[in-house]
Chain A
């Protein structure tokens, strides 16, 4: 059994020093978990340490690919709000492109 860090990781280092098994290591493009070392913290802590400090919902998943931190659970930002965010980012990007085109 092992947890996995996926591509939404922002490389903030927060999880790395917490792992009781030293299973987390810096890699490109993002941190990774050595599946041979990870125990999901069983026997050491009640909750997997990496997932307990990770600020990015969905960045750490279990063997079945299920996120330990579900959308909205850490930030309070719902899927609806996230869609609004993406629209705002795209609008800002488009405005920058338009301004550049003059």
Chain B
């Protein structure tokens, strides 16, 4: 006869199996990163022989070498500058446009919004070829400004969509009150709408920061000079030059990945929201 105990034991057994499965998958998610960090702390001599995750001597010199001579200090700064500028640009430009789409009347409003949304849905893998030609004509190729403007353009659609959805749901009373007090439209946008939109703005900021930091394709076609390259692009160049210096390469990878992992761990909620929103906007 099947008693309560039978079901209880059966349940514990199933739960254990599920946990084992989940633990195995979780381990596969972090082991490669552990190996990356571990390899970055070995020397060129030990990295090919020492297969332990915890090397006997921690060789931090790779980081100093990568930062200074490998140029990663410079690339890190570039990545920071591009990410911060593009995110500020996206926040300002997208929130202005989203506010207009949600609140203001002007000719071409509907068609323009449809175009922004369509831009997210239609993939055209070759458009970077034409973008390359265009940037050349505008003398924006191999410039920081060109890259930042392109990155703003990449983040725009999704951010406008998120913000417009938020503004649409926002009650208008506060804005009406400000208007009666004589505030201009720009004033209302900045002093009333933007502070209220803070939760969505956080998603926009974090999600776009992640995208810009990790971006590679445009960095590949835009930058020729090493001094301007962001981390992702520089890593590939670095790999080409120091083909088998794995400890140094792994140090470079760790420097590149660490800010993103920290950002993710601290701002998980916003990233998750951004990802689900991006997938389901259609």
Asked if A pairs with B, the answer is no
Interface residues of A (CB under 8 A from B): none
Interface residues of B (CB under 8 A from A): none
